[in-house]
């Protein structure tokens, strides 16, 4: 009887590890990913409005030591949905030039 109790206590850390691994996989499956396109642009798929996409793009450019982002397009992933609904895809280019002041294009 003592051996069974010992085996159960040794398997507890293993089950915690399996649960943590599963939770990590579920978390990373829902993360936003930056896709590097072959034409010097990048794309991010995200859920939210245009400002969320621009924020993600700017963060990605800053991680690459760039100063500004030039948005090429923002489209719905599911074309059947109205604009701004569901998941969006923003395509952008990073640039080393200084950022434009708000409202200038």
- Is the residue at 63 inside a domain? yes
Q: The CATH number of the domain where 40 resides is what?
A: 3.30.30
Mean pLDDT computed over every residue of the chain:
76
Rounded CA separation 4/2 (Å): 6
pLDDT recorded at residue 12: 57
The owner of tokens 């948005």 is: 71
Do both 4 and 49 map to the same domain?
A: no
- Is the residue at 48 inside a domain? yes
pTM above 0.85, yes or no: no
The tens digit of pLDDT for each residue in 82-103 reads 877 889 999 999 988 776 666 6
Better-predicted residue by pLDDT, 38 or 31:
38
The pair of three-digit structure tokens given for residue 46, joined into one six-digit string: 């995200």
Query: Domain residues for 73?
Result: 34-95
In the sheet that holds 87-95, the strands lie side by side as 34-36, 42-47, 87-95, 68-76
How many domains, the chain? 2
The tens digit of pLDDT for each residue in 69-85 reads 999 999 999 889 887 78
Do both 44 and 86 map to the same domain?
A: yes
- Is the residue at 91 inside a domain? yes
Do both 91 and 63 map to the same domain?
A: yes
Do both 68 and 41 map to the same domain?
A: yes
């Amino acid at each position: 009887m003592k051996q069974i109790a010992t085996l159960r206590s040794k398997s507890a850390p293993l089950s915690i590890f399996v649960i943590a691994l599963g939770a990590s996989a579920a978390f990373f499956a829902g993360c936003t990913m930056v896709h590097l396109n072959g034409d010097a642009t990048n794309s991010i798929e995200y859920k939210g409005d245009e400002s969320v996409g621009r924020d993600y793009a700017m963060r990605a450019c800053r991680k690459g030591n760039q100063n500004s982002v030039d948005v090429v397009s923002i489209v719905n992933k599911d074309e059947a949905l109205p604009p701004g609904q569901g998941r969006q895809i923003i395509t952008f280019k990073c640039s080393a030039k200084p950022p434009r002041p708000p409202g200038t294009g």
